Amino acid sequence: MLRVAVVGIGFIGRVHVEQYIKLMEENAPIELVALCDIDKKKLTSGFSGGNLGELGQSDIKTEKFSLYTDFDEMLSNERLDFIDIALPTYLHSHYTIKALNAGLHVLCEKPMAINPMQCQMMIDAATSNNKKLMIAQCLRFWPAYETLKRIVETNELGKPVCCYFYRGGATPIWSHQNWLLDEVRSGGCLLDQHIHDVDIVNWLFGTPEAVSTIGINVIPGAGFDALSSNYRYGGFVVNTQDDWTQNGNGAPFKMTYRANFERGLVAFEDGVTNVYPLGGKMYTADDCDGEDGYYREIKYFIDCVLNDKPCITVMPESTKKTIEIAHAEHKSARKNGEWIALI
Protein backbone atom coordinates (compact mmCIF):
# COMPACT_ATOMS: atom_id res chain seq x y z
CA MET A 1 0.00 0.00 0.00
CA LEU A 2 1.49 3.31 -1.08
CA ARG A 3 1.05 6.34 1.15
CA VAL A 4 0.81 9.72 -0.53
CA ALA A 5 0.41 13.39 0.40
CA VAL A 6 -0.87 16.14 -1.88
CA VAL A 7 0.95 19.45 -1.50
CA GLY A 8 -0.92 22.49 -2.79
CA ILE A 9 -4.73 22.38 -2.46
CA GLY A 10 -5.67 24.94 -5.07
CA PHE A 11 -7.76 24.07 -8.09
CA ILE A 12 -5.57 21.37 -9.61
CA GLY A 13 -4.66 20.03 -6.17
CA ARG A 14 -8.33 19.40 -5.48
CA VAL A 15 -8.64 17.69 -8.86
CA HIS A 16 -5.82 15.35 -7.84
CA VAL A 17 -7.35 14.72 -4.42
CA GLU A 18 -10.59 13.68 -6.14
CA GLN A 19 -8.66 11.10 -8.18
CA TYR A 20 -7.00 9.57 -5.10
CA ILE A 21 -10.38 9.33 -3.37
CA LYS A 22 -11.81 7.60 -6.45
CA LEU A 23 -8.89 5.17 -6.59
CA MET A 24 -9.23 4.36 -2.88
CA GLU A 25 -12.94 3.70 -3.38
CA GLU A 26 -11.91 1.25 -6.13
CA ASN A 27 -9.56 -0.47 -3.64
CA ALA A 28 -6.42 0.58 -5.48
CA PRO A 29 -3.23 0.06 -3.43
CA ILE A 30 -3.03 3.73 -2.47
CA GLU A 31 -3.79 5.69 0.69
CA LEU A 32 -4.03 9.46 0.68
CA VAL A 33 -2.88 10.32 4.18
CA ALA A 34 -2.05 14.03 4.23
CA LEU A 35 -2.81 17.40 2.63
CA CYS A 36 -0.51 20.40 2.84
CA ASP A 37 -1.11 24.04 1.92
CA ILE A 38 0.16 27.32 3.30
CA ASP A 39 -3.43 28.64 3.24
CA LYS A 40 -5.23 26.95 6.13
CA LYS A 41 -8.65 27.83 4.69
CA LYS A 42 -8.07 25.51 1.74
CA LEU A 43 -7.49 22.62 4.13
CA THR A 44 -10.87 22.96 5.76
CA SER A 45 -13.12 24.40 3.05
CA GLY A 46 -12.83 26.87 0.25
CA PHE A 47 -13.28 25.61 -3.29
CA SER A 48 -10.66 27.02 -5.65
CA GLY A 49 -12.25 27.87 -9.01
CA GLY A 50 -11.09 26.59 -12.36
CA ASN A 51 -12.00 25.96 -15.97
CA LEU A 52 -12.76 22.24 -15.99
CA GLY A 53 -16.44 22.04 -15.17
CA GLU A 54 -17.17 19.84 -12.15
CA LEU A 55 -13.55 18.80 -11.61
CA GLY A 56 -12.11 20.28 -8.44
CA GLN A 57 -15.53 21.30 -7.13
CA SER A 58 -16.56 18.30 -5.05
CA ASP A 59 -17.14 18.61 -1.32
CA ILE A 60 -13.96 16.95 -0.05
CA LYS A 61 -14.11 15.85 3.59
CA THR A 62 -10.63 16.93 4.61
CA GLU A 63 -11.00 15.90 8.25
CA LYS A 64 -10.17 12.31 7.30
CA PHE A 65 -6.62 13.37 6.36
CA SER A 66 -3.71 14.80 8.35
CA LEU A 67 -3.59 18.52 7.55
CA TYR A 68 -0.44 20.65 7.41
CA THR A 69 0.54 24.21 6.59
CA ASP A 70 4.25 23.38 6.83
CA PHE A 71 5.93 21.04 4.33
CA ASP A 72 8.88 20.12 6.57
CA GLU A 73 6.59 19.33 9.50
CA MET A 74 4.62 16.99 7.26
CA LEU A 75 7.80 15.21 6.13
CA SER A 76 8.85 14.76 9.77
CA ASN A 77 5.49 13.44 10.96
CA GLU A 78 4.29 11.25 8.11
CA ARG A 79 5.49 7.96 6.67
CA LEU A 80 5.12 8.55 2.94
CA ASP A 81 6.05 6.78 -0.29
CA PHE A 82 5.48 9.65 -2.68
CA ILE A 83 4.37 13.24 -2.84
CA ASP A 84 2.00 14.81 -5.35
CA ILE A 85 3.10 18.41 -5.87
CA ALA A 86 0.35 20.74 -7.09
CA LEU A 87 1.98 23.99 -6.05
CA PRO A 88 2.43 27.14 -8.16
CA THR A 89 4.94 26.66 -10.97
CA TYR A 90 7.71 28.76 -9.45
CA LEU A 91 7.78 26.38 -6.45
CA HIS A 92 7.90 23.10 -8.40
CA SER A 93 11.66 22.74 -8.52
CA HIS A 94 12.34 23.61 -4.87
CA TYR A 95 9.76 21.27 -3.33
CA THR A 96 10.31 18.46 -5.83
CA ILE A 97 14.01 18.39 -5.03
CA LYS A 98 13.31 18.57 -1.30
CA ALA A 99 10.95 15.59 -1.51
CA LEU A 100 13.35 13.57 -3.67
CA ASN A 101 16.20 14.27 -1.26
CA ALA A 102 13.93 13.03 1.54
CA GLY A 103 13.75 9.66 -0.26
CA LEU A 104 10.29 10.06 -1.78
CA HIS A 105 9.04 9.57 -5.33
CA VAL A 106 7.40 12.66 -6.85
CA LEU A 107 4.48 13.29 -9.16
CA CYS A 108 4.69 17.00 -10.02
CA GLU A 109 2.01 19.01 -11.75
CA LYS A 110 2.80 20.61 -15.12
CA PRO A 111 4.64 22.62 -16.25
CA MET A 112 7.78 20.91 -15.03
CA ALA A 113 9.46 24.15 -13.88
CA ILE A 114 9.95 27.80 -14.77
CA ASN A 115 13.07 27.14 -16.87
CA PRO A 116 15.17 24.27 -18.28
CA MET A 117 17.90 24.73 -15.65
CA GLN A 118 15.43 24.00 -12.85
CA CYS A 119 14.17 21.00 -14.83
CA GLN A 120 17.67 19.57 -14.98
CA MET A 121 18.14 20.09 -11.25
CA MET A 122 14.96 18.07 -10.65
CA ILE A 123 16.19 15.28 -12.95
CA ASP A 124 19.57 15.21 -11.21
CA ALA A 125 17.91 14.92 -7.80
CA ALA A 126 15.73 12.03 -8.97
CA THR A 127 18.75 10.25 -10.43
CA SER A 128 21.03 10.74 -7.42
CA ASN A 129 18.32 9.52 -5.02
CA ASN A 130 17.18 6.68 -7.31
CA LYS A 131 13.58 7.89 -7.10
CA LYS A 132 10.90 8.30 -9.72
CA LEU A 133 9.94 11.72 -11.00
CA MET A 134 7.00 12.18 -13.34
CA ILE A 135 5.45 15.41 -14.56
CA ALA A 136 1.66 15.40 -14.79
CA GLN A 137 1.31 16.31 -18.47
CA CYS A 138 -2.21 14.94 -18.46
CA LEU A 139 -2.85 15.09 -22.22
CA ARG A 140 -0.44 12.20 -22.72
CA PHE A 141 -3.09 10.17 -20.87
CA TRP A 142 -6.15 11.83 -22.38
CA PRO A 143 -7.91 9.26 -24.60
CA ALA A 144 -8.38 11.60 -27.58
CA TYR A 145 -4.68 12.42 -27.65
CA GLU A 146 -3.72 8.78 -27.10
CA THR A 147 -5.75 8.01 -30.24
CA LEU A 148 -3.77 10.59 -32.21
CA LYS A 149 -0.48 9.24 -30.83
CA ARG A 150 -1.42 5.73 -31.97
CA ILE A 151 -2.32 6.93 -35.47
CA VAL A 152 0.99 8.78 -35.77
CA GLU A 153 3.05 5.83 -34.52
CA THR A 154 1.30 3.13 -36.54
CA ASN A 155 1.27 5.21 -39.75
CA GLU A 156 -2.39 4.18 -40.06
CA LEU A 157 -3.22 7.24 -42.17
CA GLY A 158 0.23 7.82 -43.61
CA LYS A 159 2.52 10.73 -42.90
CA PRO A 160 1.21 13.94 -41.28
CA VAL A 161 0.43 16.87 -43.57
CA CYS A 162 -1.03 19.59 -41.34
CA CYS A 163 -1.83 19.50 -37.60
CA TYR A 164 -3.59 22.21 -35.61
CA PHE A 165 -4.12 22.35 -31.83
CA TYR A 166 -6.28 24.91 -29.99
CA ARG A 167 -6.90 25.69 -26.32
CA GLY A 168 -8.76 28.65 -24.87
CA GLY A 169 -11.00 29.95 -22.12
CA ALA A 170 -11.46 32.50 -19.37
CA THR A 171 -8.70 34.32 -17.56
CA PRO A 172 -7.62 32.31 -14.47
CA ILE A 173 -8.47 34.70 -11.66
CA TRP A 174 -8.83 32.03 -8.95
CA SER A 175 -5.17 31.42 -8.01
CA HIS A 176 -3.63 32.13 -4.59
CA GLN A 177 -2.38 35.75 -4.53
CA ASN A 178 -3.19 35.80 -8.26
CA TRP A 179 0.08 34.01 -9.05
CA LEU A 180 -1.21 32.69 -12.38
CA LEU A 181 -1.40 36.24 -13.76
CA ASP A 182 2.16 37.04 -12.69
CA GLU A 183 4.48 36.06 -15.55
CA VAL A 184 7.46 35.76 -13.20
CA ARG A 185 5.74 33.12 -11.08
CA SER A 186 3.67 31.28 -13.72
CA GLY A 187 5.18 31.99 -17.11
CA GLY A 188 1.81 33.32 -18.20
CA CYS A 189 -0.58 31.62 -20.59
CA LEU A 190 2.36 30.37 -22.66
CA LEU A 191 3.93 28.30 -19.89
CA ASP A 192 0.84 27.45 -17.85
CA GLN A 193 -1.97 26.68 -20.33
CA HIS A 194 -0.33 26.56 -23.76
CA ILE A 195 2.26 24.13 -22.35
CA HIS A 196 -0.28 21.31 -22.79
CA ASP A 197 -0.19 21.62 -26.56
CA VAL A 198 3.56 22.29 -26.66
CA ASP A 199 3.97 19.00 -24.83
CA ILE A 200 1.66 17.17 -27.23
CA VAL A 201 3.59 18.48 -30.24
CA ASN A 202 6.83 17.32 -28.58
CA TRP A 203 5.30 13.92 -27.66
CA LEU A 204 3.95 13.30 -31.14
CA PHE A 205 6.73 14.62 -33.34
CA GLY A 206 9.80 15.27 -31.21
CA THR A 207 11.84 18.46 -31.13
CA PRO A 208 11.06 20.82 -34.04
CA GLU A 209 13.88 22.33 -36.07
CA ALA A 210 12.67 25.81 -35.11
CA VAL A 211 9.65 27.68 -33.75
CA SER A 212 7.97 30.98 -34.58
CA THR A 213 5.44 32.56 -32.18
CA ILE A 214 3.28 35.65 -32.29
CA GLY A 215 1.87 36.70 -28.92
CA ILE A 216 0.11 39.62 -27.30
CA ASN A 217 -0.25 40.86 -23.75
CA VAL A 218 -3.75 41.90 -22.62
CA ILE A 219 -3.54 41.64 -18.82
CA PRO A 220 -0.79 43.83 -17.32
CA GLY A 221 2.02 41.72 -15.89
CA ALA A 222 0.64 38.39 -17.13
CA GLY A 223 2.99 37.86 -20.07
CA PHE A 224 1.58 36.57 -23.35
CA ASP A 225 -2.17 36.04 -22.93
CA ALA A 226 -2.94 34.96 -26.50
CA LEU A 227 -0.53 33.38 -28.95
CA SER A 228 -0.06 31.38 -32.12
CA SER A 229 2.97 29.16 -32.74
CA ASN A 230 4.33 27.45 -35.84
CA TYR A 231 6.77 24.56 -35.63
CA ARG A 232 9.19 23.71 -38.43
CA TYR A 233 9.61 19.97 -38.96
CA GLY A 234 10.29 19.79 -42.68
CA GLY A 235 7.62 17.97 -44.64
CA PHE A 236 4.51 18.93 -42.67
CA VAL A 237 2.87 21.88 -40.95
CA VAL A 238 2.13 22.16 -37.20
CA ASN A 239 0.38 25.09 -35.51
CA THR A 240 -0.91 25.72 -31.99
CA GLN A 241 -3.08 28.53 -30.64
CA ASP A 242 -3.99 29.55 -27.10
CA ASP A 243 -5.99 32.33 -25.50
CA TRP A 244 -7.09 32.86 -21.91
CA THR A 245 -8.79 36.26 -22.38
CA GLN A 246 -12.36 35.08 -23.08
CA ASN A 247 -14.09 36.83 -20.21
CA GLY A 248 -17.68 37.97 -19.81
CA ASN A 249 -18.94 36.33 -23.00
CA GLY A 250 -20.08 33.02 -21.54
CA ALA A 251 -17.71 31.05 -23.77
CA PRO A 252 -16.65 27.76 -22.14
CA PHE A 253 -13.12 26.41 -21.95
CA LYS A 254 -12.31 24.48 -25.11
CA MET A 255 -9.55 22.20 -26.34
CA THR A 256 -9.51 20.71 -29.80
CA TYR A 257 -7.32 19.47 -32.63
CA ARG A 258 -7.49 18.62 -36.32
CA ALA A 259 -4.71 16.45 -37.74
CA ASN A 260 -4.57 15.87 -41.49
CA PHE A 261 -2.57 12.95 -42.90
CA GLU A 262 -1.81 11.61 -46.36
CA ARG A 263 -4.73 9.19 -46.12
CA GLY A 264 -7.19 10.83 -43.79
CA LEU A 265 -8.11 13.29 -41.06
CA VAL A 266 -8.48 12.99 -37.27
CA ALA A 267 -10.61 15.64 -35.55
CA PHE A 268 -11.18 16.03 -31.81
CA GLU A 269 -14.03 18.48 -31.30
CA ASP A 270 -16.63 18.89 -28.53
CA GLY A 271 -15.22 15.90 -26.67
CA VAL A 272 -15.54 13.47 -29.61
CA THR A 273 -12.75 12.06 -31.78
CA ASN A 274 -13.76 11.34 -35.37
CA VAL A 275 -11.50 9.65 -37.91
CA TYR A 276 -12.06 10.26 -41.64
CA PRO A 277 -10.03 7.75 -43.70
CA LEU A 278 -9.45 8.77 -47.31
CA GLY A 279 -11.83 6.71 -49.45
CA GLY A 280 -13.25 4.99 -46.38
CA LYS A 281 -16.05 5.42 -43.88
CA MET A 282 -15.81 7.91 -41.05
CA TYR A 283 -15.76 6.37 -37.58
CA THR A 284 -15.77 7.67 -34.03
CA ALA A 285 -12.78 6.51 -32.00
CA ASP A 286 -13.68 4.39 -29.01
CA ASP A 287 -11.72 6.56 -26.59
CA CYS A 288 -14.43 8.04 -24.38
CA ASP A 289 -14.35 5.50 -21.57
CA GLY A 290 -15.23 7.93 -18.79
CA GLU A 291 -11.68 8.11 -17.48
CA ASP A 292 -9.99 11.48 -17.95
CA GLY A 293 -6.27 12.15 -18.11
CA TYR A 294 -5.99 13.16 -14.45
CA TYR A 295 -7.24 9.80 -13.24
CA ARG A 296 -5.21 7.86 -15.79
CA GLU A 297 -1.91 9.66 -15.13
CA ILE A 298 -2.13 9.12 -11.36
CA LYS A 299 -3.09 5.47 -11.81
CA TYR A 300 -0.14 5.05 -14.18
CA PHE A 301 2.33 6.63 -11.75
CA ILE A 302 1.11 4.43 -8.91
CA ASP A 303 1.71 1.36 -11.08
CA CYS A 304 5.22 2.54 -11.97
CA VAL A 305 6.11 3.06 -8.30
CA LEU A 306 4.55 -0.21 -7.11
CA ASN A 307 6.24 -2.29 -9.79
CA ASP A 308 9.46 -0.27 -10.01
CA LYS A 309 8.98 0.54 -13.69
CA PRO A 310 10.30 3.60 -15.52
CA CYS A 311 7.62 6.16 -16.34
CA ILE A 312 8.13 5.66 -20.08
CA THR A 313 5.06 7.66 -21.13
CA VAL A 314 6.34 10.80 -19.39
CA MET A 315 10.07 10.62 -18.79
CA PRO A 316 11.37 13.82 -17.13
CA GLU A 317 13.94 14.31 -19.91
CA SER A 318 11.04 14.56 -22.34
CA THR A 319 9.13 17.14 -20.30
CA LYS A 320 12.34 19.15 -19.89
CA LYS A 321 12.44 19.29 -23.70
CA THR A 322 8.86 20.62 -23.64
CA ILE A 323 10.03 23.49 -21.42
CA GLU A 324 12.93 24.16 -23.80
CA ILE A 325 10.51 24.41 -26.74
CA ALA A 326 8.22 26.73 -24.75
CA HIS A 327 11.17 28.97 -23.89
CA ALA A 328 12.10 29.16 -27.57
CA GLU A 329 8.49 30.22 -28.29
CA HIS A 330 8.72 32.92 -25.64
CA LYS A 331 11.96 34.21 -27.16
CA SER A 332 10.35 34.23 -30.62
CA ALA A 333 7.26 36.10 -29.37
CA ARG A 334 9.50 38.78 -27.83
CA LYS A 335 11.11 39.13 -31.26
CA ASN A 336 7.79 39.45 -33.14
CA GLY A 337 7.75 35.90 -34.49
CA GLU A 338 11.41 35.49 -35.45
CA TRP A 339 12.28 31.84 -36.07
CA ILE A 340 14.24 30.39 -33.12
CA ALA A 341 16.32 27.30 -33.86
CA LEU A 342 16.11 24.27 -31.56
CA ILE A 343 18.13 21.77 -33.59
- Same domain for 104 and 158, yes or no, is no
Q: What is the DSSP string of 186-227?
A: H-HHHHHTTHHHHHHHHHHH-S-SEEEEEEE--STTS--SEE
Given a cut of 90, whether residue 46 has pLDDT beyond it is no
- Same domain for 164 and 212, yes or no, is yes
- Same domain for 59 and 182, yes or no, is no
Chain length of the chain: 343
- Same domain for 166 and 286, yes or no, is yes
User: What confidence category does residue 48 fall into, taking pLDDT thresholds of 50, 70 and 90?
Assistant: low
- Same domain for 85 and 159, yes or no, is no
Give Cα separations from 66 to 23, 25, 34 (angstroms): 19, 19, 5
Per-residue pLDDT tens for 256-300?
999 999 999 999 999 999 999 999 999 999 765 667 899 999 999
- Same domain for 129 and 15, yes or no, is yes
Task: Count structural domains, the chain.
Answer: 2
pTM above 0.85, yes or no: yes
- Same domain for 302 and 284, yes or no, is no
Q: What is the CATH number of the domain that holds 7?
A: 3.40.50.720
- Same domain for 146 and 78, yes or no, is no
Residue 251: per-residue pLDDT: 77
User: What confidence category does residue 36 fall into, taking pLDDT thresholds of 50, 70 and 90?
Assistant: very high
Tell me how far apart the alpha carbons of residues 206 and 204 are, in angstroms, rounded to a whole number: 6
Residue 292: per-residue pLDDT: 87
Least confident of 62-66, 105-109, 247-251, 326-330: 247-251
Query: Domain range holding 226?
Result: 140-292+322-341
- Same domain for 121 and 66, yes or no, is yes
- Same domain for 334 and 185, yes or no, is yes
- Same domain for 308 and 253, yes or no, is no
- Same domain for 161 and 282, yes or no, is yes
